[in-house]
Amino acid sequence: MNSFQQITINNSCSFEGVTLHSGEYSKITLHPSPANTGIKFKRIDSKLPKGQNIIPANFKNIRSSQLCTTIENDYNLSVSTIEHLMAALHSYGIDNLLIDIDSSEMPILDGSSIEFTNAFSKIGLKELKAKKRYLKILKNVEVKRNNAYVRIKPSDELSINYTIDYPNTIVGKQNIFLENINAATFSNSLAECRTFTFESELDNLRSNGIIKGGSLDNALVFGNEKTLNQEGLRTINEPAKHKALDAVGDLFLAGNCVMAHIEASCAGHSLMHAALHEIFSDPSNWKIITLSEKTDYTILSGELSVSTANL
């Protein structure tokens, strides 16, 4: 079933577990949402009046941007580490969703997007009676910081070319180039790729109290010669692919699915957020479009696994 319509999920679904940075326990429940409402987080633990506990997933609400992506509303209510869910939503084309959360941080789950994509494939997606809106990039946009850069170029689909370089480590230089990012390509290439760090960084991260919930169950940790995770890598170039996953998630803070080619090197959340602000700093950089003829974008049906679905 092809669609040019906006998408939400068929049924509600929940995820829970430890949070990476604060080390607390949190639970989220994703609810289907009407057309033109976008992706919104709702802090159900907040005592603020109705409406003030809503945090729209939009680049205007981005706050801190070093280790993870945090958004905050006008009432100082925030939610952090949203990028792995946002990546799954972006690639599955889910435009509208209300996410109840009982804490200020998302559960890290296994450090990837795989639990989200597995759930979406199982419960299925639903078309809504409104045209899907894409953010189409019209001009090249570039942001740089030292040797890191993000270049965003016009394209009729979302594609990404991401390079990382960690000299003198076993990660080294890696690249991932993924065209036509959608539910199938994301599930096959990026969804299972975990967040990562180095054994040599752990003391510093721990002493700064920023990975209180971190463990080998939710992060890939590289020692000098191999991973501390006994099972090793899930796929070749898992670190580069995870960075691409993060970028796909951060880009969805544009507020609509994005049509652009992304070229990034040694970038992180902070530079990707800067790229979003750069896009919107000039109205001639972008336009919102709807599709009026058949494309290869396809909706997943409930109960079909990704590998067998006709995507």
Residue closer to Zn ion, measured from CB, 97 or 244: 244
Question: Is 242 a known active-site residue?
Answer: no
Q: Would you tell me which residues interact with Zn ion (CB under 5 A)?
A: 195, 246
Query: Within 49-93, where are the H helices?
Result: 83-92
Shortest separation between residue 206's beta carbon and Zn ion, angstroms: 19
Residue closer to Zn ion, measured from CB, 39 or 108: 108
Shortest separation between residue 242's beta carbon and Zn ion, angstroms: 6
Shortest separation between residue 218's beta carbon and Zn ion, angstroms: 11
CB-count burial class (<10 Å; 0-12, 13-18, 19+) for 94: buried
38, 56 Cβ separation under 8 angstroms: yes
If one counts every other C-beta atom within 10 angstroms of the C-beta of residue 66, the result is 10
58, 71 Cβ separation under 8 angstroms: yes
Distances in Å between the alpha carbon of 243 and those of 2, 111, 161, 266, 272? 29, 12, 10, 9, 11
Single out the catalytic residue among 90, 242, 261, 269.
Answer: 269
Residue closer to Zn ion, measured from CB, 96 or 104: 104
> d(Cα 252, Cα 61) in Å, to the nearest integer?
13
Measured at the CA of 257, the angle between CA 251 and CA 262, to 5 degrees, comes to 45
Please tell me what DSSP assigns to residue 86.
H
Shortest separation between residue 246's beta carbon and Zn ion, angstroms: 4
Residue closer to Zn ion, measured from CB, 125 or 181: 181
| Catalytic residue IDs | 269
